[in-house]
Amino acid sequence: MKNYICVTCGSQFAATDEPPEYCPVCEDERQYVGLGGQQWTTLDKLEQSHRNSFRKKEDGLMAIGMEPSFAIGQRALIIQSKSGNILWDCIPLIDDATTELINGIGGLKAIAISHPHYYTTMVEWSKAFGGIPVYLHEADREWVMQPDKCIQFWDGETNPLFDDITLIRCGGHFDGGTVLHWPDGAGGKGVLLTGDIIQVVPDLKHVTFMYSYPNAIPLSANNVQRIVDSVESYTYDRIYGAWWNRNIYTDAKQAVKTSAERYISSIA
């Protein structure tokens, strides 16, 4: 039996003798099935064709992504905090080299993920670091393709972790769409890690908000305003988005407000 991984979205499934008939994550209108039809791989195969690369983003923050790019192509982030390190979002490849390097900076205490498109091999990541908890919002429970005792579902609008790090439910892209507030980031000015719940756009001065990015389905004005309101009470000057070099380094809070106003006026 194998834990098959969807080639298009990177979701890992519970072990089966044969590949699943389809991927519910990709069949959903927020994602897509590629022109070649549903395709599968395994972690063993990915280890042979890919590797992970690491980049320091600032003091206490490391980024990790796959080379060459695979599935959606997001990169994850590791917050090095006083009480333990947190993996934010997830990438499909976890191998011995990755585990050894992360253990060299203190290992991982917890994993938190913004939304189902980045669940990937979260259970494998948890096991690699001793069965650490994976925090997911309860509203997105149905999209977990590999249930496991490591998964800790949380409910409500916020979930404090430790060292004043907080998970914030924004909704939008998914009902449980989550961002992470790291108050010690950016030299104490505060950082939001947003995945693509709040997506940084190429000019690196604005963000956007969508129900489906590949299928270009927008969110309503009410949903966009809810996202902005969800993070309004938090202090942050910087945003790290879902991909390499998609970050806003200064005045990010104003960028979110300005971008939301632009978005809402465009769909009015």
Instruction: Find residue 189's DSSP bridge partners.
Output: none
- The per-residue pLDDT for range 257-267, each reduced to its tens digit, is 999 999 999 99
CA distance 241 to 74: 9
**Mean pLDDT of the 143-171 span:** 98
- The domain of 257 spans 5-267
Give the per-residue pLDDT at 116.
Answer: 98
**Mean pLDDT of the 232-257 span:** 98
| Residue 268, pLDDT above cutoff 90 | no
**Mean pLDDT of the 85-89 span:** 98
Contact 209, 219 (CB under 8 A): yes
- Which H or E run contains 58? strand 51-58
Predicted confidence band of residue 127 (pLDDT cuts 50, 70, 90)? very high
Contact 66, 91 (CB under 8 A): yes
Sign of the Cα torsion 30, 35, 37, 40 reads: negative
- The per-residue pLDDT for range 44-58, each reduced to its tens digit, is 999 999 999 999 999
Instruction: Please give the model's pTM, rounded to 2 decimal places.
Output: 0.97
**Mean pLDDT of the 77-98 span:** 98
Give the per-residue pLDDT at 16.
Answer: 98
Contact 89, 114 (CB under 8 A): yes
The phi, psi pair for 221, rounded to 5°, reads: -60, -40
Number of domain units in the chain? 1
Give the per-residue pLDDT at 70.
Answer: 98
Q: What is the CATH number of the domain that holds 157?
A: 3.60.15.10
- Tell me how many degrees the CA angle 39-150-211 measures, rounded to the nearest 5: 50
Burial class, 74, CB count within 10 angstroms (exposed 0-12 / middle 13-18 / buried 19+): buried
Instruction: Find residue 137's DSSP bridge partners.
Output: 154
Six-digit token string for 146: 């590999």
**Average pLDDT over all residues of the chain:** 98
CA distance 198 to 246: 11
Instruction: Find residue 136's DSSP bridge partners.
Output: 153
